[in-house]
Structures are given as C-alpha cells and as structure tokens.
Amino acid sequence: MYDYYVIHSRSLSSFAITRTEMLEDLGYSCYLPARDLDDSGKLPLEIHKECDNAIANSRKVILIWDSVSYGAYGDLRVAMALGVPIENITRVGDKGGPYALVNQLEAEVRQKRGSER
C-alpha cells in the first residue's frame, strides 16, 4: 500500500520528482510511475494495469498537471473511478484546466454510479 500515487505531466517531471522526494523524506511511501515503473519489454496494456493497480493500492493521489498530458488524464480518470481521494491538484500556468476536468469527471462518475443503481 502506498500513501500517495503521484500523477504528473512529463513537462513537470522535475517538479514531481522533487515533490515526491519531499514526501518520502517525511516518511510517506509514494509511487511515481516515471521512476517506479519498469516498462521494459511490457505491452501497453500491462503498463496500464500496473499503474491501475498502484492507484488502487494508494491511499491518495496527487495530481501535478499542465492540462496537456493525456497520460495524466487517464490516470486521473482511474483514480476517480476507483474512488481514490485526490488530495492536491496543482494548477500550473493554466486557466482552470485541471479544475474544470475534475468537475467534469466527478459529474461523469456520479452519473455512472446513478445509472448502476
């Protein structure tokens, strides 16, 4: 079990690594895909499953996003669908992108859960 799964855009990798190391220095366990995922020789589906499992086995998610990265968007959707709390959404040089996205995804999740009842 991880304390945090760190979702980030590639353009913000340096910031994400620094933030993750700060959390680890405070004693939190973190999964940072760019660092912790060994994707050598794996099919894309295997990589996605490994990330999905890490998200499912995390207490919270941190999102560091520039509103451009579609990989970050995919991980965010998984976290929201699994009900993993998103503790910190960092807005970086963006006019509401992550916030608008989170509102949209929350509405989608609520709608889906309502239709399953």
pLDDT of residue 10: 81
Could you identify the residue written with the tokens 């099919």?
Answer: 43
pLDDT of residue 80: 92
Just give the CATH number of 2-115.
Answer: 3.40.50.10140
Angle (CA) 48-8-59 rounded to 5° is 70
pLDDT of residue 90: 57
pLDDT of residue 115: 67
pTM passes above 0.75: no
Helices vs strands, H then E, count in the chain: 5, 4
Q: What is the mean pLDDT of each run of 10 residues along the chain (117 residues)?
A: 90 85 89 90 90 96 78 86 81 49 58 66
Q: Where do the domains of the chain lie?
A: 2-115
pLDDT of residue 98: 47
pLDDT of residue 55: 97
